[in-house]
Amino acid sequence: MTLSSALSAAVSGLSATARRADVVSSNIANAQTPGYVRRQVDLAPAGPDSGRSGVQVRGILRAQDVALLTDRRLAQAASAGAEVAAGFLKTAEAGFGTPDQPGSLAGRLARFDSALTTASAQPGNDARLAEVQAALASLAQGLRQATTAVQSARQSADARIGVEVGRLNTALAQVDALNHDIAADRAAGKDIAPLLDQRQALVDGIAAIVPLREVARDQDRIALYTVGGAVLLADRAARLDFDRSPVIGAEDIALGGMRLNDRPVTMAAGGVLDGGSLGTLFRLRDDLAPRAQERLDKVAADLAGRLAATDSHAGLGWLTDRGQPLDAARQTGLAGRLAVNARLDVGQDGALWRLRDGLSATQPGPLGNGGLLTRQASALAATQDAPSLSGLMADMLGLTAQARLEAEQQSSFATARTAALEQAEEARGVDTDAELQDLMQVEQAYGANAKVIQTLDDLMKLLLGM
């Protein structure tokens, strides 16, 4: 080996160790940075084609476990979706209330039933009749409030869909731009590791909205496909569009849908975009919430029907559909429209004594006649053609509670799995002890190359002095 080749090898060694020191320092500094992937310098002997001897830096490698990353992203999507479902069911259960809560639907029904029984014992007592009317109004109000809670959840889901679609479009466009930047920097021989980290963070955000798989392409670019098979990013980023609904009522069934590159996309379970928070928000808006509303409406129709079968006037019972007769064809949203018959409401020129004497009565009857009140109490408890009203109410609350528990279990499982996979990624991430050991090796390599250069310098001085 000539002196010049030895000097070239030592200088290349110093350059490589300096690069290694930079990478090790970056690893240690970002050991706790979320999304940071450990780097390592890819070294190789300088080949004869390079025209020099020593070592060359071929690039900076990211120690990424692709399989583990894919599993974590899928778990992340499942966790986000389960959290949305559990959150809604918890809200619905709170809106219905539990039987031990005075303001719950079950508590309001119990109050109405108790008021009927008490008033039937003293039908001439105006205070007892007023309590019946107040309890009935409270029960109708509770059904309306529960309906409002369910429909507000639908409205919020619709609004959040719009937000997530916007985030999805923005992130896809940014990943597409980073693909081009990474390819350009790679061709120019620049360090692309920071851009790869930035792109990975963007894809992680997309994966929580829509479960996806990342496919490597040439020049370190990537393509993104949903688990259901939709192309989100290939040669260019896909475009998703969604029409938000300004106002959603219980009667509104056909709401705004999703379009992918101007083509309608079904958002039903098992669709190409299902599995993450976006698909679950659609399921909440179009399935979970309507089913909760259906149960409410069933209770409302049963309550109003039982009371009307015992006492009615001009087709109207004690409870009306906003002043109109009940219509089986318009049962959807009935719980939000129930109102006390104006003939029983003192505030609307009604009279409390009609609770005792009947809606058709034009003047007060005998004060001791509590038969109608007794029959209404019996109608609530009747079980000939259907469960009692309290039983129907209990079924509604039980189904909601069961669905909420199942959703929370799924959410807990998905969250725990995501956390476990994140810990596995962290375990494969930066080990500061190992990095410090590597730094010691860098120091030794630097010293060795510096010693070679010092020796060469001494030789050159010796030769020049001869």
> 239-253 pLDDT, tens per residue?
999 999 888 888 888
- Do 352 and 413 sit in the same domain of this protein? yes
Q: What is the pLDDT of residue 439?
A: 78
Q: At CB < 8 A and 24+ separation, what contacts does 184-189 make?
A: 186/219, 186/220, 187/219
Mean pLDDT of 451-455: 80
Quote the CA–CA distance of 255 and 151 in Å, as a whole number. 13
- Do 256 and 356 sit in the same domain of this protein? yes
Quote the CA–CA distance of 120 and 106 in Å, as a whole number. 21
> 363-412 pLDDT, tens per residue?
999 998 999 999 999 999 888 677 888 888 888 888 888 988 999 999 99
Q: How confident is residue 132, by pLDDT bands cut at 50, 70 and 90?
A: very high
- Do 22 and 135 sit in the same domain of this protein? no
Q: Are 233 and 175 in contact (CB under 8 A)?
A: yes
Q: What is the pLDDT of residue 66?
A: 81
Is pLDDT above 80 for 57?
A: no
Distance from first CA to last CA of the chain, Å, rounded? 21
- Do 184 and 157 sit in the same domain of this protein? yes
- Do 160 and 256 sit in the same domain of this protein? yes
Mean pLDDT of 73-97: 91
Is pLDDT above 60 for 77?
A: yes
Quote the CA–CA distance of 356 and 366 in Å, as a whole number. 9
Is pLDDT above 80 for 127?
A: yes
> 294-334 pLDDT, tens per residue?
999 999 999 999 999 999 999 999 999 999 999 988 999 99
* pTM: predicted TM-score of the whole model, two decimal places: 0.82
- Do 41 and 90 sit in the same domain of this protein? no
Distances (CA, A) of 181 to 26, 186, 190, 193, 271: 22, 8, 11, 12, 33
Number of domains making up the chain: 2
3-state secondary structure of 311: coil
- Do 119 and 34 sit in the same domain of this protein? no
- Do 408 and 437 sit in the same domain of this protein? no
- Which ranges constitute the DSSP H helices of 188-268? 193-209
Which tokens sit at 270?
Answer: 């098992």
- Do 316 and 435 sit in the same domain of this protein? no
Q: Locate the DSSP E strands across 238-308.
A: 240-242, 258-260, 263-265
Pairing of strands 263-265, 319-321: unpaired
Quote the CA–CA distance of 282 and 449 in Å, as a whole number. 63
Which tokens sit at 129?
Answer: 């009749």
In which domain, by residue range, is 53 found?
3-63+429-465
Give 94's contacts (C-beta < 8 A, 6+ positions apart): 149
Quote the CA–CA distance of 257 and 169 in Å, as a whole number. 16
- Do 309 and 232 sit in the same domain of this protein? yes
- Do 152 and 258 sit in the same domain of this protein? yes
- Do 212 and 134 sit in the same domain of this protein? yes
Q: Give DSSP secondary structure letters for 415-452.
A: HHHHHHHHHHHHHTS--HHHHHHHHHHHHHHHHHHHHH
Counting every residue written for the chain, the total comes to: 466
